[in-house]
Structure 1
Amino acid sequence: MSRGALLLALATLATALSVIEIRHENRLLFAELQRLRQERDALNTEWEQLLLEEGAWSQHRRIEQMARKRLDMQTPGREQIVVVHAPAGSP
């Protein structure tokens, strides 16, 4: 085998090994990308749920604040609370 052919064979082998390494790294990076996308989607879903929950809680807080300020309402004390028991057999 001539020196030129040997160099060509070595260059071809080096190129093939580089292609294999790059394709393997590409697969690993793609798998990581997919995992990160799933994590992002899960975090977006959680964020949307938290926003809905915040909206529900802030609405109750706002109603309570308005009742206290505008209507001068207060939470009743223990002595003001009356428990009414329904008669047996009523729905």
Structure 2
Amino acid sequence: MTVGQTVLWGAVLVSAVLQLSVVTWNRELLQVWQKADAERQALAQEYSRLVLEKSTLTAHGRIDALARKRLGMQEPEHTQVFH
């Protein structure tokens, strides 16, 4: 085997090792990305649920019913508007 062939085989081996390390690194990054994306989706679902819950809790009809029930509020019988 000549020096040129030895260098060539060395370059092939280095290239193969680098290829394996790049593939491994790529798989690790993909796993990190998938985990982050799953967390993003979970947070988006929770946010949607919280927005819906907020709109339910702040609905005017609900607030009116709670005021009447808990505070004993009622519509005034006679109203006068002064200009």
TM-score by length of 2: 0.72
**What's the RMSD between the two structures over aligned residues?**
2.6
Regions of 4+ moved over 3 Å: 60-64
Partner residue in 2 for 1:50: 50
Cα offsets for 1:3-62 (capped at 9, x unmatched): 100110110000000000000001111111111111111001000000001101111488
Identity of aligned residues (%): 33
Partner of residue 13, structure 2:
13
Aligned letter for 1:39? E
Structure 2: gaps spanning 5 or more residues: 73-83
Aligned to 1:29: 29
Q: Name the CA distance, whole Å, in 1 between partners of 2:51 and 2:29.
A: 32
In structure 1, runs of 5+ residues without a counterpart are 69-73, 77-91
Aligned residues: 70
TM-score (norm 1): 0.66
SS of 2:29 mapped into structure 1: helix
